[in-house]
Amino acid sequence: MERRYLGVPFTADSKAAIVHETFAATVDAPARARALIRTVLDCDPRVGAAQLAASELVTNAILHGGLGSHAEVEVYVRCTSAHVRVSVVHAGDGRDADRGRGGVGGWGLPIVASLASAWSLDSVGATTVAWFEL
């Protein structure tokens, strides 16, 4: 049986570090996620790409996730010598209430895709997980 970590295949790595933080789903959550990434990755050359992609996923969760007024967004950062994986988890159903209204936007996931070596967005029941790997 395949082990999974936040919806994606998990391989044990004795040098892996996992950091988790929960933020209120407010307008300052993307900045707090970027600060978390900066703290975890510090001098790693992937820090800028990880901050941008994480910020986009957190923003998408808040704007398009169907979250309630007291919702939270969880950010997980998993680092190994070879990869950085960031997962954004929330209790929204992933529906985009604003989709189809002709608004400006829609660049978040294409930005993540352009930066990441792998990424996914999955909703299972009342939980949505978006992740990327650099």
Number of folded domains that form the chain: 1
User: pTM of whole model > 0.85?
Assistant: no
- Domain assignment present for residue 124? The answer is yes
CATH number, domain of 61, equals: 3.30.565.10
Domain that holds residue 119: 25-96+105-133
- Domain assignment present for residue 13? The answer is no
- Domain assignment present for residue 10? The answer is no
Spatial CA neighbour of 112 closest among 89, 86, 90: 86
- Domain assignment present for residue 7? The answer is no
The predicted structure's pLDDT at residue 6: 47
- Percentage of the chain with pLDDT > 90? 55
- Domain assignment present for residue 4? The answer is no
- Domain assignment present for residue 14? The answer is no
Tell me the per-residue pLDDT of 71-122, one tens digit each, with 9 for 90 and over: 999 999 998 888 999 999 999 766 554 554 455 567 889 999 999 999 999 9
